[in-house]
């Protein structure tokens, strides 16, 4: 289940599983591991604060975990930030700090590269620790790519998931990963579709006290088809969480979630979109740690995530969750 450096096993990585279902990854981001069994490139880049030089952090071997010792050596005796999160898919949808616009007057900040150290299957790795701030001039950690390739637009079908810390979250907007506006601003309901994790009750919510897997669809973060709490969207309490959003064409969306250390994946909501959110008007940018309008008061820790073209089957969802569990978060 992983070996010395590999993580995918016979089934490869999550993107190999999505490809097998004819719903290929259009973006694949992780500072922890390869998301394709054959991926042997760089996962992310760090920037040294002492002299502003940068260093790419590769995998230990194709299909493997991050070579975090490269970061440790490069950042020794100083500090580093995460300057690029590379897209492992062929589309080159890399993430850098968000540009100015919306609520970020001066753009986003880069994450502290050592703030989220974890162990995965015996290997040290680092996540993307995002911060929050209510000062629009200071801003907070957030990443964005407004000029992407292959990401769903309009009412096109897609899916996305992220693996995050289950202990680092808050009630504000919005710790997101997914599809957003290409101009950093709120372009109205249905102009984004991103998966959210936290305990926000500003719009919709889940049942219990949270945190919950929800969908940020712009002008609202929803745990179901309205602002009411669906009984099925229960609080998700775990050290590491898989949060999944499926957005087919038409008036339906699906939320799933689970403990990232377990093969179990629960459907939190499967039904109609909120009123005014069909058809979707997706624009195809990619955000991480912020809202579609660069809102920057949510927070969390991101370890990996993928976005697809097309709607994966439930069987593929389950296989992806099993792959995540096999990766060994926290072990």
**Which residues are marked as active site?**
218, 293
Q: Measure Cα distances from 189 to 90, 216, 220, 293 in Å.
A: 30, 10, 8, 12
Which stretch of DSSP H or E encloses residue 15? helix 14-20
63 in Cβ contact with 8 (< 8 Å): yes
The answer to whether 34 and 60 are in contact (CB under 8 A) is no
* Tokens found for residue 195: 């998966």
Decide: helix, strand or coil at residue 189: coil
Closest CA to 50 of 73, 77, 70: 77
* Residue 104 near residue 296, CB atoms below 8 Å: yes
3-class state of residue 244 by DSSP = strand
């Amino acid at each position: 289940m992983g070996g010395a450096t590999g993580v995918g096993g016979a089934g490869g990585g999550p993107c190999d599983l999505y490809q097998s279902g004819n719903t290929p990854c259009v973006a694949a981001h992780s500072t922890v591991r390869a998301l394709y069994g054959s991926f042997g490139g760089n996962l992310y880049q760090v920037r040294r604060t002492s002299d502003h030089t940068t260093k790419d952090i590769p995998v230990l071997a194709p299909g493997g975990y991050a070579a975090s010792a490269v970061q440790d050596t490069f950042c020794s005796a100083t500090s580093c930030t995460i300057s690029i999160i590379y897209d492992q898919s062929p589309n080159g949808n890399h993430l850098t700090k968000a540009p100015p616009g919306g609520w970020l007057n001066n753009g986003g900040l880069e994450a502290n590269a050592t703030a989220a150290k974890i162990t995965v299957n015996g290997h040290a790795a680092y996540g993307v620790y995002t911060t929050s701030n209510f000062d629009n001039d200071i801003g907070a950690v957030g990443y964005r790519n407004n000029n992407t390739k292959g990401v769903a637009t309009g009412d096109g079908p897609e899916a996305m998931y992220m693996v995050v810390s289950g202990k680092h979250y808050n009630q504000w907007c919005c710790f997101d990963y997914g599809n957003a506006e290409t101009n950093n601003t709120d372009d109205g309901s249905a102009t984004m579709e991103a998966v959210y994790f936290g305990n926000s009750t500003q719009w919709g919510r889940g049942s219990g006290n949270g945190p919950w897997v929800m969908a940020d669809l712009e002008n609202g973060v929803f745990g179901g088809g309205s602002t009411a709490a669906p009984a099925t969207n229960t609080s998700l309490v775990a050290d590491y969480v898989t949060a999944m959003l499926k957005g087919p064409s038409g008036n339906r969306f699906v939320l799933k979630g689970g403990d990232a250390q377990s093969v179990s994946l629960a459907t939190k909501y499967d039904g109609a979109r909120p009123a005014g959110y069909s058809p979707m008007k997706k624009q195809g940018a990619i955000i991480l740690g912020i809202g579609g309008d660069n809102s920057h008061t949510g927070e969390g820790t991101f370890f990996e995530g993928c976005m697809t073209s097309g709607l994966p089957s439930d069987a593929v969802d389950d296989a992806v969750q099993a792959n995540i569990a096999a990766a060994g978060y926290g072990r």
